[in-house]
């Protein structure tokens, strides 16, 4: 079973072996690009999942973040439409870094399916290694997949308000350092970070060539950040609950367990006026 990462060569050896492969390529700047790229060429046999349409629910202005989790029923229907069975290996990829693929990876763990891995290096490495691609869409399947929600993997805004002031817990912002420091904010209306949070940009999990760091190095880096806090006392967030999953995946790949996610993340946190004002005061 592969439950964190899988290499392109290993996946290549298991094509046509009954594994479920899902393409999650996506761009915030061109939301149609990922699906178009998939239709043009994809890993043979893979399905497509769109971040906004398939892996998120409707945004409620002033209440949710930019990528609220889908309902359990909708997610169950999506997985069933791919023909997923309870013991089936799933492999997920995106254009390379893994930030979008990690969202679906986390969601599957959230509903109790552990046989799921992200393709190390994603589409970029797959193409570089000249492994099989296709423009043919997979045959439609159906199953009766049943989700089993693991609520303990999620932190609410109320939880975060409590733990951010508790030294026994650590809250980690997964965005780029400049966004964390409030020096720039290209997406959300307010810059800054949740008071009390520290920073671990998700791209710090990658080597220069786009592959993931090895388990030993990741473990050393995370242990240096969280000190003696365990997974249950470690919570990640980002801009909208997507790339924080990259850090959660890296943390698990390092052998440290399953850290927690604040799905609403920064874009939900700043919806409350008193929180937004607190951020602005602390920036002065």
- What positions carry a catalytic annotation? 238
Pairing label, strands 133-134, 42-43: antiparallel
C-alpha to C-alpha distances, 7 to 93, 113, 161, nearest whole angstrom:
11, 20, 39
Tokens for 257? 């367990």
Q: What gap in Å lies between CA 209 and CA 95, rounded to an integer?
A: 13
């Amino acid at each position: 079973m592969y439950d964190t990462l899988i290499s392109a060569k290993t996946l290549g050896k298991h094509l046509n072996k009954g594994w479920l492969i899902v393409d999650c390529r996506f761009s915030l700047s061109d939301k149609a690009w990922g699906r178009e790229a998939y239709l043009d060429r994809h890993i043979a046999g893979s399905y497509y999942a769109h971040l906004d349409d398939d892996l998120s629910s409707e945004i409620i202005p002033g209440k949710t973040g930019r990528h609220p989790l889908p309902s359990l029923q909708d997610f169950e229907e999506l997985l069933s439409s791919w023909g997923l069975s309870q013991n089936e290996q799933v492999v997920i990829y995106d254009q390379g870094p893994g930030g979008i693929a990690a969202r679906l990876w986390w969601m599957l763990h959230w509903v109790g399916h552990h046989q799921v891995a992200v393709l190390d290096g994603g589409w970029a490495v797959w193409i570089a290694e000249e492994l099989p691609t296709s423009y043919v869409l997979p045959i439609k399947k159906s199953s009766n997949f049943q989700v089993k929600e693991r609520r303990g993997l999620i932190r609410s805004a109320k939880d975060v308000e409590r733990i951010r002031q508790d030294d026994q817990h650590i809250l980690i912002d997964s965005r780029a350092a400049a966004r964390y420091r409030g020096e720039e904010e290209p997406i959300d209306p307010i810059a800054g970070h949740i008071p009390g949070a520290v920073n671990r940009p998700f791209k710090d999990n990658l080597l220069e060539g786009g592959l993931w760091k090895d388990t030993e190095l990741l473990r050393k880096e995370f242990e240096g950040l969280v000190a003696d806090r365990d997974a249950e006392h470690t919570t990640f967030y980002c801009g909208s609950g997507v790339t924080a999953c990259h850090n959660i995946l890296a943390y698990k790949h390092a052998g440290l367990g399953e850290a927690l996610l604040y799905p609403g993340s920064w874009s939900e946190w700043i919806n409350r006026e008193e929180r937004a004002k607190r951020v602005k005061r602390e920036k002065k």
